[in-house]
Amino acid sequence: MNILLTGGAGFIGRHVLAELIARRHSIRVLDSLRADVHHGRRWSPPEPVELVVGDVRDAATCDAVLDGIDAVIHLAAKVGLGVDVSDTPDYVSSNDYGTAELLAAMARAKVGRLTLASSMVVYGEGIGLCAVHGAVTPGPRLDHAMAAGRFEPPCPVCGETLAPAMVPESVATDPRNVYATTKLAQELLSSNWARVTGGSVAAMRYHNVYGPGMPRDTPYAGVAAIFLSSLRKGLAPQVFEDGGQRRDFIHVRDIAAATVLATERHASGVRAFNVGSGTPRTVGDMAVALAAALDGPSPIVTGKYRLADVRHIVADSQRLRDELGWSATTEFASGMKELAGSFDH
């Protein structure tokens, strides 16, 4: 297929690009090479990939890059949880207005297949299991409770502590920060576009992505990059809360494989797909694994917290396995060793 890949110069984008090349697709990359992501570093794709440097928010640029395209993989976005409320306009402009311009251009060009990079953050706290009330949406974690070291979210009915549970795509969305809100808005805009045009959308809800090429030393870096930055300086990783936050850490090559597979195989309707390993690990587990890989100082559990963070979020990726035949292949321990070894390269 002739595929437009937005954000192809980014962390995930470069791995998706490599997967597309390996599967013999014809690729055009659109990337703004924005300074807060690329820091002035030059990048050129391998031959014969075409690179267009431009902003997805520009209608004329979108019209131009869609010429001759069969399908779009839309990764371009401002990522991370944000530093403060002043980030909100840039998130909304970059993620939602940019997606709106792209979708409008796709309608004009009659390009009907979209694979969208979404995120597990649209679930908020997902679901929890109450001993009395079963599966429920966790109540908000409150400042006074977290300050006292009570980090588990409560049952919204009885207030008792919840046990974590795997989150299927059918769970109600509950975005709890500006980034999460913009990712859900991207999904809704894409669904509206598909309804009007008859197009297809695969919304890929990525979980905690790690791997070679991960960005570092920015306020938007993932927790793995933050830990590694500390370890490379000889400092102990600083683990928030009690380190028991459950996540689904998934290697970027597995993410890339799932994204390309969805582009090839999902050709009708609107479908969300969790993209995770399906194996829960704690943030503390990651800190310990990275410290061991670098023979660095043991992690320090600080008890610090951010109210916008969720306690547990782990995917149930059965839909992706059943419908598209995908499963993650990179084991956690080997992936952590590779990440640690590649972080300076």
Taking the CA atoms of 203, 207, 210 and 216 in sequence, report the sign of the dihedral they define.
positive
Angle (CA) 322-247-308 rounded to 5° is 120
How far is it, in rounded angstroms, from Cα 184 to Cα 203? 10
Length of the chain counted residue by residue: 345
How far is it, in rounded angstroms, from Cα 103 to Cα 111? 9
Cβ atoms of residues 256 and 3 within 8 Å: no
Sole residue written with tokens 């090429």: 213
* Nearest of 39, 23, 342 to residue 210 by alpha carbon: 342
DSSP 97: I
At residue 30, what is the residue type?
L
At residue 158, what is the residue type?
C
* Nearest of 169, 177, 172 to residue 85 by alpha carbon: 177
Query: Could you give the C-alpha distances from 176 to 48, 158, 246, 251, 315, in angstroms and in order?
Result: 41, 22, 17, 25, 17
List 91, 123, 179, 210, catalytic entry:
179
How far is it, in rounded angstroms, from Cα 61 to Cα 55? 7
**Does 206 qualify as catalytic in the annotation?**
no
**CA 288 to chain CA mean position, Å:** 23
- DSSP notation for 204-271: EEE-EEE-TT---SSTT--HHHHHHHHHHTTPPPEE-TTS--EE-EEEHHHHHHHHHHHHHH--SSEE
At residue 68, what is the residue type?
G
* Nearest of 307, 323, 286 to residue 209 by alpha carbon: 286
Q: Catalytic positions, please?
A: 179
